[in-house]
Chains A and B, each alone.
Chain A
């Protein structure tokens, strides 16, 4: 709980390490070196750093052009802008033209809660996962962030990665155990229900499992860092073996990880599902923690929702 390293910092520290050894690694950013924590990269590797100014469309176009020359490009900026302003460039220049850019959206979801809806990205999983062959990822903690960064540096794939702003409690003990591309991680075991979470909701899901455990309810917790391609087998096992699924994500309840889970469960092994996320409204202002609390994304709220659903569907 004492971790003070935000995921975006774990990302840039890892990237500096990798790029020092691999001159083909490039960073492109749009006046976001402070927000992303890219100062060290810019200072130590200026030949691999590209500042485009406040121009996110150009950022992704330039990133795609660099990628077409074999550069391993990480285009970094706040998630709200990259997933909205640059969307056509992501679709055409990256996905359609097959230029493997790693699009890193930082301070995603409601990280920037108090700055208003312009700065939130609650639609990014939804839009990004409809693009063919674009991987969509969201790390749960700093170890998983490092693992994802290393994986992306080694694989020439187009990907969108959303990470938050502040530090989050460690979910994993080390980098190695934290991530396998396209796979869910089973973090706790139980047969009464499954909670599937990702990103900053994972530690809240674990907290919920702990609360439920004290009341004699055993829940499986899955961390789903890869939203696309999603781990179909883990989802179906959860449906078959626990019969009730609750998804929790820092995203609109429409179109995100919960929807991806529901698409599989409803068509292949229907069981009750509850999608917890940000409801269909413009979020109120407040800190990230206050908004997690307000919208029921914390351990207590998740646990009580699970209790209600178990009573409704399983007792």
Chain B
């Protein structure tokens, strides 16, 4: 990955942050913190990793991305619109009456592969998809993003066991490890550490990386797949990343910025973009 490519990803994810904050601000609802923590991961996936074509959203040979942490849907919608899966204009209808852009991913939206919202479902469905691809001897790859709080769901571990049992080396799961969930610190709500050891014990090839470092993320996604092993990328992130007053603060799990807060956030993101451009 060249310096220019890295800069482009940084600028892209920052403009996506602005767009998703705008959606949440206008709709007066949304899951702000988790969308901001996962948007860098999604940026790398959608602008660097996934083999998808917005013109052919149902192409059977497309890679599949499953947003198991469905509440971070704003980050997904702004990307799908930006990629051209549906008109950018439509983002304004988010959470409005009869809009297809509801508060969790819906298959009515082009580019969305699975309805999520109930946690602990996405990985099982991803295992089914990866298994279908494996049995078909197809080159389709499956990617699934989970939250860290979601790791308390028992079904996650049923799926973890199955992926390893079926030797699904066409499957990559990612955990948005922001260490916060709606009630507070993940380790006080229900201790998760060590996720690295847990997933390794379940037979996965585990990479723990800085989830806001584009080189580290692209390296982890690009690492040669270990034959017969599903891959786990534990992306260490900050909830609310990019907006300093939201960062690492559980209250922004589904906090909605007021006028002043929104403009403050935009200013901060804009000045970050200037800074990135200054390094070009």
Q: Tell me the A residues contacting B by CB distance below 8 Å.
A: 47-48, 50, 52-53, 55, 57-58, 60-71, 88-89, 91-93, 96-99
CB < 8 Å A-B pair total: 97
A261 to chain B, nearest CB (A): 32
Answer whether A69 and B127 are a contact pair too, CB < 8 Å, given A55-B158, A88-B118, A97-B114.
no
The reply to whether A58 and B162 contact each other, CB–CB distance below 8 Å, is yes
Q: Contacting A62 at CB < 8 Å: which of B114, B118, B125? A: B125
Closest to A55 in B: B158
Answer whether A92 and B155 are a contact pair too, CB < 8 Å, given A53-B162, A62-B125, A69-B136.
no
The reply to whether A58 and B118 contact each other, CB–CB distance below 8 Å, is no
Tell me if B128 counts as interface (CB < 8 A to partner A). Answer: yes
The reply to whether A61 and B131 contact each other, CB–CB distance below 8 Å, is no
Can you give 10 A-B contacts (C-beta < 8 A)? A47-B135, A58-B155, A66-B132, A69-B129, A70-B60, A92-B115, A92-B118, A92-B121, A93-B125, A97-B107
The reply to whether A61 and B161 contact each other, CB–CB distance below 8 Å, is no
Q: Mark B112-129, 1 if CB is under 8 A from A, else 0.
A: 011111101101111111
> Binding site of A, secondary structure by majority: helix, strand, loop or mixed?
helix
Task: Mark out the residues of chain B between 124 and 153 whose CB falls within 8 Å of any chain A CB in the assembled complex.
Answer: 124-133, 135-136
Closest to B136 in A: A69
Q: Which residues of B contact A89 (CB under 8 A)?
A: 121, 124, 155
A20 to chain B, nearest CB (A): 16
Q: Contacting B128 at CB < 8 Å: which of A53, A68, A88? A: A68
- Separation of A66 and B125 alpha carbons in the complex (Å): 8
Tell me if B78 counts as interface (CB < 8 A to partner A). Answer: no
- Separation of A91 and B116 alpha carbons in the complex (Å): 11
- Separation of A159 and B124 alpha carbons in the complex (Å): 20
Answer whether A98 and B124 are a contact pair too, CB < 8 Å, given A65-B132, A69-B133.
no
- Separation of A295 and B133 alpha carbons in the complex (Å): 49
Q: Which residues of B contact A58 (CB under 8 A)?
A: 124, 127, 155, 158-159, 162
Answer whether A69 and B158 are a contact pair too, CB < 8 Å, given A58-B127, A92-B115, A93-B124.
no
Task: Mark out the residues of chain B between 153 and 207 whose CB falls within 8 Å of any chain A CB in the assembled complex.
Answer: 154-155, 158-159, 161-162, 165
Q: How large is the interface on B (under 10, 10 to 19, 20 to 34, 35 or more residues)?
A: 20 to 34
8 more A-B residue pairs beyond the given contacts A65-B130, A96-B115, with a C-beta to C-beta distance below 8 A: A52-B162, A58-B158, A61-B155, A63-B128, A64-B125, A65-B127, A68-B125, A92-B115
The reply to whether A64 and B107 contact each other, CB–CB distance below 8 Å, is no
Answer whether A61 and B127 are a contact pair too, CB < 8 Å, given A88-B118, A93-B114.
yes
Closest to A101 in B: B128
Q: Which residues of B contact A71 (CB under 8 A)?
A: 132
- Separation of A55 and B133 alpha carbons in the complex (Å): 22
- Separation of A50 and B127 alpha carbons in the complex (Å): 11
Q: Which residues of A contact B123 (CB under 8 A)?
A: 61
Answer whether A61 and B128 are a contact pair too, CB < 8 Å, given A47-B135, A69-B136, A98-B107.
yes
Question: Which A-B residue pairs are the 3 nearest by beta carbons?
Answer: A65-B128, A61-B124, A69-B132
Answer whether A65 and B126 are a contact pair too, CB < 8 Å, given A71-B132, A92-B115.
yes
The reply to whether A57 and B124 contact each other, CB–CB distance below 8 Å, is yes
The reply to whether A92 and B132 contact each other, CB–CB distance below 8 Å, is no
The reply to whether B128 and A66 contact each other, CB–CB distance below 8 Å, is yes
Q: Which residues of B contact A55 (CB under 8 A)?
A: 155, 158, 161-162
Answer whether A65 and B135 are a contact pair too, CB < 8 Å, given A53-B162, A55-B158, A93-B125.
no
B90 to chain A, nearest CB (A): 21
Answer whether A62 and B161 are a contact pair too, CB < 8 Å, given A68-B125, A69-B136.
no
- Separation of A99 and B126 alpha carbons in the complex (Å): 13
Answer whether A92 and B158 are a contact pair too, CB < 8 Å, given A62-B128, A66-B132.
no
Q: Which residues of B contact A91 (CB under 8 A)?
A: 118
Q: Which residues of B contact A62 (CB under 8 A)?
A: 124-125, 127-128, 131, 159, 162
The reply to whether B124 and A65 contact each other, CB–CB distance below 8 Å, is yes
- Separation of A62 and B132 alpha carbons in the complex (Å): 9
Answer whether A61 and B125 are a contact pair too, CB < 8 Å, given A68-B113, A69-B136.
yes
B156 to chain A, nearest CB (A): 9
- Separation of A62 and B125 alpha carbons in the complex (Å): 5
Closest to B135 in A: A47
- Separation of A88 and B117 alpha carbons in the complex (Å): 11
